[in-house]
A = this chain, B = another copy of it.
Amino acid sequence: MKSQDRRESILEAATGVFGDYGYVGATTDQVARAAGVSQPYVVRMFGSKEKLFLEVLRRALDLLLAAFRQVLVDYARDELPRRFGRAYVDLLNDRGLLLSLMHSYVMGSDPVIGRAAREGFLEVYEFLRKEAGFGAEEVRQFLAGGMLINTMVGVRMSDDFETNPLARELLTTALPEKLDLLLHLGKTQKPESR
């Protein structure tokens, strides 16, 4: 396989693994197995686990912003909030993408990854504020809703959807549409076992 294709397939695999176990919890060996290559190959291709994670974050952010920019092209101003929301939830199809980002949001203490996480978050903020033309309070509400969705995904609240009426109500309220997407993912996508 060509190096560039291999690179992309490792990045995809790494996104899933980092999403499930976090930066520290994930091992380069798990990533390698998920990508179907050997552990040394992963480390050599990206230099280090840290650099691999930074590339995962960069890729995730690029995909997120690309999806949002497409919304900007396709829809009118008054539809944007709802359409951005839909586009955001659709990113759940990219396994681990939102979760990898969320893992970075809790690593502010790390000098390298913390900086990247802040810059990445601010890129999104800047996009919404300037390119999308949202007001500050409008952006706040949008981001807040996104962070709640992240939390529902991160905590796997969908595991309790069937059995716990409160979980069901919470999920239904937090994910206005596309809830089925989240529920289906839980059943379809199993995390790699350690």
Contact = CB atoms under 8 A, between A and B. Distances in A.
A160 B105 contact: no
> How many copies, total?
2
Interface stretch (A5-13, A40-48, A68-76, A145-153): A145-153
Interface residues of A, number: 50
Contact of A166 (B114, B126, B150, B155): B126
Contacts of A112: none
Interface of A: 20-22, 24-25, 99, 102-109, 114, 117-118, 121-122, 125-126, 129, 136-137, 139-141, 143-145, 147-148, 150-151, 153-157, 159-160, 164, 166-167, 169-170, 172-174, 191
5 contacts: A106-B106, A108-B154, A141-B144, A144-B147, A144-B174
